[in-house]
Each structure stands twice: as C-alpha cells, then as structure tokens.
Chain A
Amino acid sequence: MSACSEIARRVQAGEVERDHFVRGALDRAREADSGDVPLHAFLSLETEEGEAAEGSLAGVPVAVKDNICTRELPTSCGSRILEGYVSPFEATVVRKLRAAGGWVLGKTNMDEFAMGSSTENSGYRPTRNPRDRARVPGGSSGGSAAAVAAGIVPCALGSDTGGSVRQPAAFCGVVGIKPTYGRVSRYGLVAFASSLDQVGSLGATVEDATRLLQAVSGHDPRDATSADRAVPDWAASFGVGVDGLTIGVPAEYFTEELDPAVAEVCREAFDRLREAGARVREVSLPHTRYAVPTYYILAPAEASSNLARYDGVRYGVRAPGAESIDAVYEESRTRGFGAEVVRRIMLGTFALSAGYYDAYYGRAQRVRALIARDFRRVWADGVDVLFTPTSPTPAFRLGERTTDPVAMYLSDIYTVTANLAGIPGISIPIGAVEGLPVGGQFLAPMWDEARMIQAAHALESLTGAVAGGVGDARREGTDA
C-alpha cells in the first residue's frame, strides 16, 4: 500500500489524530535543515489544514511548490521580486487537495519563476539532493523532489514547463508526473510560459504521485485552457502489467549526449519490459534535435510577456528613491530579478521584437507543430507509449553548470518535447549509476495518462527500483 493510502486509511479509521502525520513531517523537515549541510527543500514551513476529514488524501502532508498560490503561506516563486507576497486567492489545485483531506506542508524551493534545471537559480538559496548533498536536486521543482526523496512527505506538487517535475524526480530518485496540457487547472499557478506550463505531482511511488494527481485533476472554469473532459480512475492502471503493450523507443533519444551508463540502465529496463510481455520496438521522432532550441525561443518569449507585470508597483520589491515611473519599473525589475530570469526576459524580448519575430518566434511555433506531428505519427503507427531516459546524466554537482547556460538547458533535452506537444509524461527511478538515481520516462498520447501510469507501475514492480525515501514519509510525529 502506498504511503498516501496508508496515511489516509489510518486517519479516516480514527487510529490517529488528523494532524498526526503532518506533525511527523514538520519534524522531519526541520531535522533535514539542521546539521552542517542543510537540505533547504522548503522556503516556508507552516501548515494549511485540510478542509475535509475524509478523502483520498485525509491527513496526508503535501509539499507545494512556491509558484502555486496559497492564501496563508507566502508565494514568492523563488524570486526576490515577490518576497513576502501572500496571494489573496488560492490555486485550484490547492483547494482540491485540501478538499480531499490533504494538508499543505510548506512551500518548496525552486528555480526563480521555474527557470532552471538545478534549483540553483532560487533567489534565496540552493536546495541539495538528499541522495548526495554535494549535488543538485534538479529543477525547477527541486524542493518538492527533495522533500519527497528525503521522506519528509509522501507526495508534493510541482510545475513542469520543460521538464521541471520529471527531471528533478529523476535526479532525486522519486516519481514525477506531468499530465496532459489542460488536465489540471493552472488557476493560481504563477505563469511562466502559459502554453507549456502544467501543474504536476511527485511521489515516493507511482501510486503516491498518481493519487495526488487524481485529486487535483479536472476541469476548472477559471482556467480557459483547462479541458472539460472526464478524468479516468487511474488506480485502475495499477497492477495491469505490460503484456501486449507496444512500447516505442525513439532512436533520437539515444545519441551522443546520453551518458553511456544511463543508456545501459535504460537497456536493462527494456529487457525487463520485454520479458514481461511488452513489444519493444525502435521508432523515430525526427525533429527531436530541434526541441531545445524551439523551447528556448517560445518559453522565454512567453515569459517576457508574463513577467512584465512585475514592475515594482503591484507586487514585492520596489526600488527605493526612484524618481520617475520609468525608473521605478526599471530599477525594481533589475534589482528584483536574478541573472537567469533577466537572461530569459532579454532573449524573449529579442525573439518578439520587430524584425526578428518571424525568424525566431514564428519559426519556432512552426517547428513546434512538427515536433507534435512526430508524436502523432508514432501513435498512429500502433505505439501505445514511448520509453526514454528522463535526463542525459544523473544529478550533477552544485556549481558545475552555472556558468554555461546552454549546458544547463541541455539537461532538459528529453523532457521539453512533451511540453511542446502537450502530451503527458512520467519519470520513475529505474536504477542507479555510482549510487545516483537514474530516471526513465514514459510518454503517452494526449489524455492517455492511464496507459502511461500502467506501464510505469509495471516497470516499478519489475525493477524494484522504488527509491522510497532516505527517510520514510510514514514515520509518525515525535509527539504523537
């Protein structure tokens, strides 16, 4: 039984107080930040109570990424420009998780405005990887992944614009799901790149991550991009196996960028899937090599527009002593934004500027259509799900890539395609290289999370690579 299910069962059966496991989680979060090398998974550590005493998440502590609005805890997006900002409204996903009995346990650290792959771009402090504290937890949802991997919480919410749930899940050895674009409401998710952003879930196991995703999915009239379609019961995908499933392996994901040791772990996973009855065959997604360049035009372009609202007047940082309204805007933004955010705003502004729009933004939109078409052709050819590595390497060391933006961007090489095509993806631990977790990714057609969860659940059982946590989220409160 997953940690979420067990906690909810015990709380609803009245075996323990409603906040029993929440208190335990608070203790563990504080413990993780003590010592010589603190974890720093959280930016704020308070609780917001579950609304319901019963539900699929009754009494479950859930960590929430700091770009998802909560009404009591601050929402800074890991940025100095929003330091101390408390939203007047609550994100739909937070309302839903509390309606299912879940408790918010603090807000987790992240790369500023979700721009980054290591959580080193946080405006406050970096988070460390619980598996090896000299290494990054991935990003941008690095705090959420670290909180799960350290066994502080059984599940957490993140957001995934180019791999920001799946890549940190892979680095920390936990499960991360990015659902289909439109499956989960973005109301109350602070916008980075609106055509790519999705709220996703992280969990110690496929079941934990799925149960959280199930609780927060569904149509929301407050988000025009939220789809009005029924959400299947994904628990029905557990234990089904992969017998008869056709699993495609895209050749373009196994190129020279991929660490040979990671490739080997992936090959072992194919063998297990084959032995369990899956048909595994090579397929081609010919435009894959254009995905990162396409992403790094479209996402910054959208970000430059979305982040125009941070002007020193309405939120957060305001430059003191600025003499004119232009000076307020420019000095507040220059002072409040970190280096990566400035870089992306500049890149996006350039891509949208007169004379360059067609050559960059317009062209990238058309290449995006080709990337999405590649996937549609593979599904039409009888492939049920695709299996790929999640990231080309295991977790790298803090500081290793901070001076080379392009090297950092290439961490997302296998994850950005799902965001560009709008399809769902899940990363699960499939093994290790020199003690560091390796993630494998299943991708599925739009709205077919069920098939992807089915395959991931089966592979999780086959590899036995359920990382669980460094701690155990089921451990109880010290004062319980």
Chain B
Amino acid sequence: MSVSKDEVSRIAELARLRPDERAIERLTRELNGILDHIQVLESVELEEIGGDEETSAASSGFRPREIEADRLGDRGPEGMAPAWREGFFLVPRLPALDQGPALDQGVEPDSGEGPDGAER
C-alpha cells in the first residue's frame, strides 16, 4: 500500500491541515516509508480472536450515573477565558464577517457592554 500526493492532500484536508507543496512531497515520502514498515501486519494470522480479547487488554470501569456539582470551583468559566459575557465566551471576530472591531483590537472584555458585533 502506498499513498499518492493527491491522497496526502486529501488526508491533510480531512485533518484540517494546510501543508504547502514541498511539505506534501515530504509527507508523501515519509508516510509511504511508514506504511511500508506497517505492511507486515498483513501477514498476521487473526483467527481465534473474539469476545473480551477483541477489545483492549485494559478494562474500563463504569461509574454510577450521578450528576455532580460544577467542578470549575472558585473561578467559574469567566475566570478561565480572556472574555466572557452573558454566559458566552467571546472570541476574536473573523474579518470575513464584516469590518467591525475584533475583540483583540482594544475592546474591553469585561466592560459590561459587549463589543458591537463581537462573535459569541
């Protein structure tokens, strides 16, 4: 099994990455080297596996379905983000949406009055 440059570009798109042409060439070469190494798995006899053996050797426990108190403790969500208003985190505005002020361009996050057009 080997992958082509086009396939590597497609994988990058799925992985939300944007490698340039040179990086795609390098990744194609490297991924093919790794896939060559992995190919040995095709020769493994897989009969006689099933039931509990099919899953990981480690077992996970289940805890009772209980709703627990908010664990965010003394800080609350507003203490964990640069900006918070009316129950929402404020994040920088995308230039594509309009020419309104972006949050990181001088808007006071805790002014009480949210930045005009700030994305929620």
CB distance from B12 to the nearest CB of A (A): 7
Count: A-B pairs, CB below 8 Å: 149
B53 at the interface (CB under 8 A from A): yes
Q: Is the CB of A353 within 8 A of B11?
A: yes
Distance between B73 CB and nearest chain A CB, rounded to angstroms: 8
CB distance A334 to B17 under 8 Å? yes
Smallest CB separation, B10 vs chain A (Å): 8
Known A324-B94, A368-B56, A420-B57: A287·B44 in contact at CB below 8 Å: yes
CB-contact partner of A422 in B44, B57, B72, under 8 A: B57
Whether the pair A345, B17 counts as a contact (CB closer than 8 A) is yes
Q: Which of B8, B34, B44, B55 contacts A370 (CB 8 A)?
A: B44
In contact, B80 and A313 (Cβ under 8 angstroms): no
**B41 contact from A88, A293, A373, Cβ within 8 A:** A293
- Among residues of B, the one whose C-beta sits closest to the C-beta of A331 is B18
| Residue B27 at the chain A interface, CB threshold 8 Å | yes
A12-20, A169-177, A224-232: which lies at the B interface?
A224-232
**Are the CB atoms of A367 and B41 closer together than 8 Å?**
yes
**Residues A405 and B33 in contact in the complex (CB < 8 Å), given A225-B58, A297-B38, A342-B27:** yes
Q: Is the CB of A350 within 8 A of B30?
A: no
- In the complex, are the beta carbons of B46 and A367 less than 8 A apart? yes
CA distance A347 to B28 in the complex (A): 10
| B91 & A313 in contact (Cβ 8 Å cutoff) | yes
| Residue B87 interfacial (CB < 8 Å) | no
Interface residues on A, range: 35 or more
User: For the complex, is B16 an interface residue (Cβ under 8 Å from A)?
Assistant: yes
Indicate the size class of the contact surface on chain B: 35 or more
B30, chain A: closest CB distance, angstroms:
6
Given contacts A321-B95, A369-B55, contact A224 B61 (CB under 8 A): yes
Those of B36-69 within 8 Å (CB) of chain A: 37-42, 44, 46, 49, 53-63
Most chain B beta-carbon neighbours within 10 Å: one of A226, A318, A331, A350: A350
Interface contact B94-A328, CB-CB below 8 Å = yes
Q: Cα distance A331–B12 when bound, in Å?
A: 12
Interface 0/1 of B1-36, CB less than 8 Å to A: 101000010011011111100010001001101100
A304 and B19 CA atoms in complex are apart in Å by: 16
A-chain residues with CB within 8 Å of residue B27 when the two chains form the complex: 342-343, 346
- In the complex, A370 Cα to B54 Cα: how many Å? 9
The answer to whether A333 and B17 touch across the interface, beta carbons within 8 angstroms, is yes
Residue pair A294, B41 in contact (C-beta under 8 Å):
yes
What 0/1 readout, one digit per residue, does chain A (327-364) give for beta carbons within 8 Å of chain B? 01111011001000011011101100100000110011
Kindly provide the distance from the CB of A406 to the nearest chain B CB, expressed in whole angstroms.
5
B96 CB → nearest A CB, Å: 5
Q: How far is the CA of A365 from the CA of B40 in the complex (A)?
A: 15
Which residues of chain B are near A405, meaning CB under 8 Å?
A: 30, 33-34
For B62, what are the chain A residues with a Cβ–Cβ distance below 8 Å?
224
Instruction: Report how far A368 CA is from B56 CA in the complex, Å.
Output: 7
B117 is an interface residue with CB less than 8 A from chain A:
no
Instruction: Give the chain B neighbours of A313 by CB distance below 8 A.
Output: 91
Q: Knowing A323-B94, A366-B46, A367-B44 touch, does A347 contact B56 (C-beta < 8 A)?
A: no
* CB-defined contacts of A337 to chain B, threshold 8 Å: 17
- Bound-state CA distance A474–B65 (Å) is 47
Chain A residues contacting B8 (CB-CB under 8 Å) are 346
A228, B63: Cα distance in complex, Å: 10
A350 is contacted by which of B16, B31, B49, B57 (Cβ under 8 Å)? B31
Choice from A290, A304, A324 contacting B44 with Cβ under 8 Å: A290
Question: Are A369 and B11 interface neighbours, CB within 8 A?
Answer: no
Contact B15 A345 (CB under 8 A): yes
Across-interface contacts of B19 in A (CB, < 8 A): 334, 342
A380 at the interface (CB under 8 A from B): no
Q: Does B106 have its Cβ within 8 Å of any Cβ on chain A?
A: no
Instruction: State A89–B77 Cα separation when bound (angstroms).
Output: 11
Inter-chain contacts of A359 with B (CB < 8 A): 1
- Min Cβ gap B9→A in Å is 11
Residues of A within 8 A of B95 (CB): 321-323
- Chain A contacts for B71, CB-based, 8 A: 89, 222
Kindly state whether residue B112 has any CB partner on chain A within 8 Å.
no
In angstroms, Cα B53 to Cα A287, docked, is 15
CB<8 Å pairs between A and B, sample of 17? A88-B79, A222-B71, A225-B60, A289-B40, A323-B95, A325-B94, A328-B94, A345-B15, A347-B34, A349-B11, A350-B11, A350-B31, A365-B56, A369-B49, A370-B49, A372-B56, A422-B56
Binding site for A on B (CB under 8 A): 1, 3, 8, 11-12, 14-19, 23, 27, 30-31, 33-34, 37-42, 44, 46, 49, 53-63, 71-73, 75, 79-80, 91-92, 94-96
Besides A225-B58, A349-B15, A372-B53, 6 more A-B contacts (Cβ < 8 Å) are: A225-B61, A296-B38, A343-B34, A359-B1, A405-B34, A422-B56
Query: Which 4 pairs from chain A and chain B are nearest by CB?
Result: A422-B58, A372-B57, A181-B58, A88-B80
